[in-house]
């Protein structure tokens, strides 16, 4: 049932987020016999980064998986886990074909069905239909604002706002799955405007820990002043400075730091004239929104030079997120599970980006594990609907001091000044990180003491709070790992250090802490 009305609802499982991970979590929970409510910040089936993309998957036949895992482990910086990789490869292989009644998979020239790559808009539309067919109640345009907690610390639901009705909603549940996506600081990442770290903030308020947030400085190339962060075409690019001189920058995909250095010198321009004719002819089918963007700009990218920029993707294509403790993707807070990009992907991506394929398979797999785990916990404990609860949202809702007139948009702009520039986040120096973190700490203190909004304005206030919170955790983790590993490169400590192939956990609100885990998780990779 979609778009259910009502202020106070009950279910066995509440899913927060309606992208790939959230919809798979809802389906898995329903298949366990649980009643399920899914609350999406946007429209389930059209929101999130996957809905605007062509998500590939880590689709590997059984006889090739051992080699695929070894190749992946070689890039993980000692932080990957062989067993988890095997789990998502197996579940991806078994799951994707089950979409066939709802999604039309293409066939190759030999008539063999191709399951690996999906068309994002059609994929998410199919997932919505499957969710509805499983009896899940969907709350569209219903961002969650805060979690509900029992006196024993367990999570039993959430509260939020329904944008279209301008009304509050509340769901009591036996367990909650966070599937709110990664965070990207409202950087103009395609499909990422809702990826503001809301789930991370709500979880931290409940005492959840995070891991791997230092691996969060992935940047994607895009035409300047657009959100078209689809980078496949740039494998055939040539680059030029403002005077038209060609620059010695190799074509992608591993040229982000070269592009960043060029951008620090001035405007950067690009031309795609190296793209082979056969790929040009298929581009509108491979990535139809890419040529559409150039059409709207009035640019022929194969003949004209056009200005480009780098767009920060945070943890959307990074690796960090909420720390998970077991195979059911439970967090360290009872009743709270995490799936997809909101959860750490270090187990399968290590210190590097999972790109599209690994991340997509992680969303599909972790969603099912978290949904199943939440359903089983709810069955074990019951809905606990009669127990007293407390709404635990803080910054943006309940200030420490008297509320002041703070503009969430200005707060976000201040945070973006620290997180988006290449010379602060891509090229990381200890003193620069410390200076940015000090400014973010002062901004957080202002929010903590005086930001309070009610009604629909609370949505923007909580987004601002989440962006500042995730920014602080990111730079605290980047300072805590005083070495270079994977995508986290410290210019002042450019080498890997012995004994640092361990997860770095981070948490806290007013006072942030970081701590390396005692055990070396890379043992499974050795």
DSSP, residue by residue, 387-445: S-EEE---TBTS-SS------HHHHHHHHHHHHS-HHHHTSB-HHHHHHHHHHHHHHHH
- Alpha-carbon span 290 to 443, nearest angstrom: 37
| Domain 395-491, CATH among 3.30.360.10, 1.20.58.100, 3.30.460.10, 3.10.129.10 | 1.20.58.100
Strand partners, 515: 505
CATH number of 221-311: 3.90.700
Question: What is the H or E stretch that residue 137 is in?
Answer: strand 137-139
> Are 26 and 178 in contact, with CB atoms under 8 Å apart?
no
Specify the pTM.
0.94
184 in Cβ contact with 190 (< 8 Å): no
Residues 6 or more apart in contact with residue 57 via CB below 8 angstroms: 92, 96, 115, 116, 117, 118, 357, 360, 361, 364
Alpha carbon of residue 240 to chain centroid? 32
Average pLDDT of 228-236? 88
The lowest-confidence range among 44-48, 127-131, 470-474, 501-505 is: 44-48
* Residue 181, strand partner residues: none
- Residue 323 binned pLDDT confidence (cut-offs 50, 70, 90): very high
Residue 522 has pLDDT above 50, yes or no: no
HSE-CB at 113 with a 13 A cutoff on CA atoms is 10
Query: Where are the CATH 3.90.700 domain residues in the chain?
Result: 221-311
pLDDT tier for residue 385 given thresholds of 50, 70 and 90: low
Alpha-carbon distance 18 to 310, whole Å? 28
Delimiting residues of CATH 3.50.50.60 domain(s) in the chain: 8-216+315-391
Half-sphere exposure of 250 (CA within 13 A, CB side): 6
Helical H runs in 105-176?
120-133
Closest C-alpha among 119, 69, 59, 66 to residue 91: 59
CA distances from 476 to 211, 344, 460 (A): 11, 16, 24
Length of the chain: 526
Q: Which residues of the chain does CATH 1.20.58.100 include?
A: 395-491
DSSP 233: G
pLDDT for the residue 383? 62
Confirm if 41 and 139 have CB atoms less than 8 A apart.
no
Convert the pLDDT of each residue in 300-320 to its tens digit: 999 999 999 999 999 999 999
pLDDT in the model for residue 521:
40
Residue 37 has pLDDT above 70, yes or no: yes
What's the rounded Cα separation, in Å, for the pair 141 and 107? 36
Q: How confident is the model at residue 520 (pLDDT cuts 50, 70, 90)?
A: very low
Whether 75 shows a pLDDT value over 60: the answer reads yes
* pLDDT, the chain, mean: 93
Q: What is the DSSP letter of 177?
A: E
For 398-411, write each residue's pLDDT tens digit.
Answer: 988 877 878 999 99
**Does the pLDDT value for residue 510 go beyond 70?**
yes
pLDDT, mean of residues 353-359: 87
CATH architecture, domain 8-216+315-391: 3-Layer(bba) Sandwich (3.50)
Give dist(CA 408, CA 402) in Å, integer.
17
Better pLDDT: 71 or 54: 71
């Amino acid at each position: 049932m979609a778009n259910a009305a009502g202020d106070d609802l009950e279910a066995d499982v509440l899913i927060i987020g309606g992208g790939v991970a959230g919809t798979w979590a809802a389906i898995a929970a329903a298949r366990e016999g649980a009643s399920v409510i899914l609350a999406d910040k946007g429209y389930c089936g059209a929101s999130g980064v996957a809905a605007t993309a062509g998500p590939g998957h880590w689709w590997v036949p059984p006889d090739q998986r051992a080699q695929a895992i070894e190749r992946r482990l070689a890039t993980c910086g000692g932080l990957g886990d062989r067993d988890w990789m095997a789990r998502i490869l197996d579940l991806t292989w078994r799951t994707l074909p089950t979409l066939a009644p709802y999604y039309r998979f293409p066939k190759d020239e030999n008539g063999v069905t191709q399951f690996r790559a999906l068309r994002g808009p059609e994929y998410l539309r199919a997932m919505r239909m499957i969710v509805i067919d499983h009896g899940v109640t969907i709350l569209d345009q219903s961002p969650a604002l805060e979690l509900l907690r029992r006196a024993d610390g367990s999570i039993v639901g959430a509260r939020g706002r329904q944008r279209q009705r301008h009304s509050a909603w509340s769901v009591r549940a036996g367990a909650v799955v966070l599937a709110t996506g990664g965070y990207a600081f409202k950087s103009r990442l395609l499909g990422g405007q809702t990826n503001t770290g809301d789930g991370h903030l709500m979880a931290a308020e409940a005492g959840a820990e995070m891991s791997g947030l230092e691996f969060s400085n992935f940047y994607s190339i895009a035409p300047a002043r657009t959100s078209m962060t689809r980078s496949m075409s740039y494998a055939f690019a040539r680059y030029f400075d403002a005077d038209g001189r060609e620059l010695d920058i190799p074509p992608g995909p591993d040229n982000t730091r070269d592009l960043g250095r060029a951008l620090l010198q001035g405007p950067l321009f690009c031309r795609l004239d190296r793209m082979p004719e056969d790929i040009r002819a298929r581009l509108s089918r491979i990535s139809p929104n890419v040529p559409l963007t150039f059409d709207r700009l009035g640019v022929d990218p194969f003949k004209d030079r056009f200005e480009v920029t780098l767009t920060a993707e945070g943890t959307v294509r990074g690796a960090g997120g909420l720390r998970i403790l077991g195979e059911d993707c439970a967090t360290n807070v009872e009743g709270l599970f995490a799936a997809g990009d909101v959860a750490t992907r270090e187990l399968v991506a290590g210190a590097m980006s999972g790109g599209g394929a690994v991340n997509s398979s992680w969303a599909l797999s972790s969603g099912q594990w978290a949904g199943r785990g939440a359903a089983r916990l709810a069955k074990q404990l019951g809905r606990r609907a009669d127990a007293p609860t407390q709404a635990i949202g803080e910054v943006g809702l309940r200030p420490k001091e008297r509320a002041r007139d703070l503009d969430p948009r200005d707060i976000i702009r201040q945070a973006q000044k620290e997180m988006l520039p290449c010379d602060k986040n891509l090229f990381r120096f200890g003193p620069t990180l410390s200076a940015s973190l000090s400014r973010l700490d002062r901004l957080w203190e202002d929010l903590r003491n005086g930001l309070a909004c009610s009604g629909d304005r609370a949505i923007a206030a909580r987004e601002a709070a989440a962006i500042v919170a995730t920014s602080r955790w990111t730079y605290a983790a980047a300072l805590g790992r005083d070495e270079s590993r994977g995508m986290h490169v410290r210019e002042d400590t450019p080498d890997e250090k012995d004994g640092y192939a361990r997860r770095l956990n981070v948490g806290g609100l007013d006072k942030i802490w970081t701590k390396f885990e005692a055990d070396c998780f890379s043992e499974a990779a050795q």
